[in-house]
Every structure is written in C-alpha cells, then in structure tokens.
Amino acid sequence: MNGIEWIVEAHGCVPESLSDGATLRALFARIVDELQLRPVGETQWHQFPKTGGITGLCVLAESHLAVHTFPEFQSLCLNLFCCVPRREWDFDARLKQLFGAHTVTIQSVARPYGAQIDVASDAHGSGTTPLFGSANR
C-alpha cells in the first residue's frame, strides 16, 4: 500500500489574499470536505505580524495538511500527506481562484510503506540510516 503526498507551490498570488485567514480557512475546509479527510483536532494558525504571512497546520487521521504564505513574495506553499491513496484534487484551479496565482506547481509523491532498503549502500551496515548525527554516540 502507498500513501500520497502533494507538495504545492503557488506564485504570483495577490498579496492581500495570502494574509487573509478566512480565505485560508475556507481552502482547508474545502480540501478536507472534498477529499473526505478526518481532522483529529482544531487547525492551528499563526500570522506573522511583520509580513502578514500565515502558517496553518491541520493534523489528520490520514497525516497532515499544512500551508505557509509569503505575501512579500506573492507565494504560497502547501503540503498534504495522506497515508492512504486519495484521488487528485484540483489544486491548480482552486489556488488560482482563491489567491489569484499566476502559476501553480504540483508534485505528487507516492509514499510506499513496504520499500526495501538497499543494505549494500548503507554505510553503517545496520540496514538503517540515522536521522540525527552518528548512530555511534
């Protein structure tokens, strides 16, 4: 079984829309509703006082939905990871509609759970690669 992750970048957005919490909440609500996702709590939002940019994170039973807006660069970065396959969502049309994006780039990444590790290329010989620093602490 595979999960799926979407990494989405929108550029040329209307700066005011990227500072509008109501627009971002509407975006999240639409994604959650149309993909039948299951939030496990309240979405957390933070607005940066100097730039007006907003970071939002919704923890899902399926994984997470996150957004970061950069009004000063007219851009938005969005990430949706689902641990089970989901149908494609029209990020392009929605981000152009809500934020006036000129370009939207979408990367879709399959996340296989049963992938085999190439032990021969593992420098530590353990079959795993440490995430932080050396395995020999």
Max CA distance (Å), the chain: 52
Give the model confidence (pLDDT) of 66-81 as tens digits.
999 999 999 999 999 9
Is there a domain that residue 87 lies in?
Answer: yes
Is there a domain that residue 131 lies in?
Answer: no
Is there a domain that residue 135 lies in?
Answer: no
Is there a domain that residue 137 lies in?
Answer: no
Residue 34 structural domain: 2-113
CA distances from 89 to 58, 74, 94 (A): 17, 22, 9
Is there a domain that residue 75 lies in?
Answer: yes
Range in 5-9, 102-106, 108-112, 122-126 the model is least confident about: 122-126
Is there a domain that residue 126 lies in?
Answer: no
Confidence of residue 122 (pLDDT cuts 50, 70, 90): very low
Q: Total domain count for the chain?
A: 1
- What single-letter amino acid sits at 106? I
- Give the single-character DSSP code of 39: B
Is there a domain that residue 120 lies in?
Answer: no
Give the model confidence (pLDDT) of 34-69 as tens digits.
999 999 999 999 999 999 999 999 999 999 999 999
Predicted pLDDT of residue 133: 45
Q: CATH number of the domain at 49, please.
A: 3.60.90.10
Q: For the chain, give the percent of residues with pLDDT over 90.
A: 73
